[in-house]
Structure 1
């Protein structure tokens, strides 16, 4: 398989360049790929602020992300449980896609366009059907910053009704922080894209022979959480409403998150795809560590507030009993304790 790429650089005088995938030109031969390029010239102008080093060309397809088929037609890539850095290239979140008879729906896209390109190649290795929708489960950059490759291919960008404002407010900070973490060269071509299909409440997304049920939740992990239930298989993409191994990250409401988890565990699901960790968890037993952590966080925070502890002292003890159950605990638990303390001190 061959694909079209263009070499983009930060500037003509800069040696920081990357071959950026141009979706939609895939073909079994270089000649066929080149014919597609000749028929429809790619829009390089969309890569604002970057310089093209030569024209688009056709090369053998690059590396695809590894995916597991966790249910018929439902594929998941499990990112590493690490902080984004140059070594892992920002491939730290679980991503997926659903193949129907008429097209493909992508769920989350990774920390960079390069990660999104790897997911695009994984899709193209399995089907040549169009990618019709890219669904973003929440605003965090490790789930949304690979979106451009799919949006550039014509996919509708789907998200919680609050996602457009949240991304607009945080875009510059997200781009700056992720570029610093993974490296400027690896980050080339990465940007957000506008949400074209905002979701309120619960709505069906008809993909022809299968339907995805999209639910926008009240503030919990964040204020933009969206789940995707594949009605055919009974498997739900939970985004970061559910963590596995990776310490949960509270960026919304602790009480809201506990309430959402209670509702999720009541659902009749065959399995769930967490935002980090395993590709698929059994349900509801897969919820037990998350529920326990949130309950411990709330209980210990209330105890610290009741004892009159200052925030700086409280975060040293809140939820410390959970330390051995989670990875990246020291990076995330102090933040969670701070958010929880700030919320619960006003109960």
Structure 2
């Protein structure tokens, strides 16, 4: 069993999350575990597991957080840990706690955003509601500029080469949402399932219960060394 390296980077964020914790859960894979809470004005929607994977030539961020400020903290964390440039931001699905840090990465030259082929449509449909409710529900002011759709849309499977490290991105059928994307790292046999898996947190359903159960049954037949849920602790072996 791998020993996780815990790296604590102290950035001022909010009273609910004064320290932005990053844990190396496998070689080159870093996860910030979100609060196991429902979104509110105290946690500012910083409740999802987010992080990044480092290759020899590129870093891929996986989910950017629930606010532009959390995205900035994540970007600073990447830059503190590695000099490898950020090339990709992967959004695993449309929910607000996973996508609203995207804007923090917009100033990176040639940055590419990746998502399920249905993510762009879902962002267009949900975006106005998220923006209208953001101040009241999570005390974060959002604008249309915070809705950043994918520049690369995944229809089935997509291989992403970070340099000596290939990620397999899979667009799932309707399950947790109709735009779920998982990320598999072949190098460490790590599966980043995001909200296809909840641990210690009441699951949220926004797609199909039957579809979700079918996807979980398929995934249960496979063997992984590390599994990263969208909410809750990391699973090993």
TM-score of the superposition, structure 1-length normalised? 0.61
Deviations, residues 31-66 of structure 1 (Å, cap 9, x unaligned): xxxxxxxxxxxxxxxxxxxxxxxxxxxxxx954721
2:235 counterpart residue number? 281
2:5 counterpart residue number? none
Say which structure is richer in helix.
1
Which of these two proteins has the greater Rg computed from alpha carbons? 1
1:286 counterpart residue number? none
1:172 counterpart residue number? 128
Q: Distance in 2 between matches of 1:95 and 1:82?
A: 15
Q: How does 1:237-256 map to 2 (within 5 A)?
A: 237-256=192-211
Say which structure is richer in strand.
2
Cα pair 2:35 2:46 within 8 Å, conserved: yes
2:178 counterpart residue number? 223
Cα pair 2:48 2:231 within 8 Å, conserved: yes
Residue 158 of structure 1: CA displacement? 0.2
2:80 counterpart residue number? 125
Report the secondary structure of 1:229's partner residue: strand
Deviations, residues 223-267 of structure 1 (Å, cap 9, x unaligned): 000000011111111010000111011110111111100111112
Report the secondary structure of 2:81's partner residue: coil
Residue 175 of structure 1: CA displacement? 1.8
Alignment length (residue pairs): 221
Cα pair 2:178 2:207 within 8 Å, conserved: yes
2:116 counterpart residue number? 160
Q: Distance in 2 between matches of 1:104 and 1:153?
A: 12
Cα pair 2:127 2:144 within 8 Å, conserved: no
The answer to whether the aligner puts 1:209 opposite 2:209 as a matched pair is no
Residue 190 of structure 1: CA displacement? 6.7
Structure with higher RCO (Cα < 8 A, 6+ apart): 2
Deviations, residues 195-215 of structure 1 (Å, cap 9, x unaligned): 100001112101111011000
The answer to whether the aligner puts 1:83 opposite 2:51 as a matched pair is no
Q: How does 1:1-347 map to 2 (within 5 A)?
A: 63=12, 65-154=20-109, 155-184=111-140, 191-278=146-233, 280-282=234-236
Report the secondary structure of 1:239's partner residue: strand
Residue 177 of structure 1: CA displacement? 2.1
Report the secondary structure of 1:178's partner residue: helix
Deviations, residues 260-309 of structure 1 (Å, cap 9, x unaligned): 0011111221121000011x1135xxxxxxxxxxxxxxxxxxxxxxxxxx
- Give structure 2 stretches of 5+ with no counterpart: 1-9, 13-18
User: How has the CA–CA distance of structure 1 residues 188 and 203 changed in structure 2, closer, same or farther, with 3 Å as cutoff?
Assistant: closer
TM-score of the superposition, structure 2-length normalised? 0.88
Q: Distance in 2 between matches of 1:189 and 1:219?
A: 26
User: How has the CA–CA distance of structure 1 residues 259 and 91 changed in structure 2, closer, same or farther, with 3 Å as cutoff?
Assistant: same
Q: Distance in 2 between matches of 1:253 and 1:191?
A: 27
Cα pair 1:84 1:178 within 8 Å, conserved: no
Q: Distance in 2 between matches of 1:188 and 1:174?
A: 9
- Give the stretch that moved more between structures: 121-130 or 82-91: 82-91
